[in-house]
Amino acid sequence: MRSDSDMFVGLTPLISVFDMPKSLAFYSETLGFEVVSASPVVETPEGRFSHWMWLRLGVVDLMLNTHYDSGERPEHPDVTRSAVHGDAPFYIGCSDINTAYEQFTQRGLIADSPKLAPYGLKYFSVKDPDGYAVVFQEVRQ
C-alpha cells in the first residue's frame, strides 16, 4: 500500500489575473516560466489569448486564469481586489539566488538585490502585474 507521501507529488497554485498577455509576459519572458498547457486561444475585445495557462519553471508549477470572461473585463483592475494579493506570497526556492537575480534583472526585472533575512534565508522579492508577491529564496546553511 502506498503512503500519502508517495501519492502526492506537487502543489500548483491557480491565480486569477486581470490581463493574461501582461501576466504571461511577466512569468515567461522575465522569469523564464514555460507553458505546460493552455486553454484554446480566443479572440476577445481585450485581445487574443488563452483564458487559462499552466506554467513551469524547473519544478515550480503555477496556473494563471483570467478573472473576467471575454468582453467583461473593465478598463482598469479593481484595486480592492488586487490589494489583498500581497497576503498570499509565492516562495520559490533557488539554489543560487545571486545568479537568479542577475538573470532576471538582465531580462528587465526591477527588484532590490538579494538580502539575508535574520532567520537565515537569502532572498529577493517582486510583485507580479496583479500584485502577487513572488519571493525567490536560498536556504543558507
Task: Please state the pTM of the whole predicted model.
Answer: 0.89
When pLDDT is cut at 50, 70 and 90, the band that residue 23 belongs to is very high
Q: Tally Cβ neighbours within 10 Å of residue 24.
A: 20
Cell numbers given for 77: 483592475
Question: pLDDT tens digit string along 47-59?
Answer: 899 999 999 999 9
- Please tell me the predicted confidence (pLDDT) of residue 104: 95
Q: Tally Cβ neighbours within 10 Å of residue 45.
A: 8
Topology of domain 1-70 in CATH is 2,3-Dihydroxybiphenyl 1,2-Dioxygenase; domain 1 (3.10.180)
Q: Which residues contact 39 (CB under 8 A, 6 or more apart)?
A: 50, 51, 52, 53
- What is 82-141's CATH superfamily? 2,3-Dihydroxybiphenyl 1,2-Dioxygenase, domain 1 (3.10.180.10)
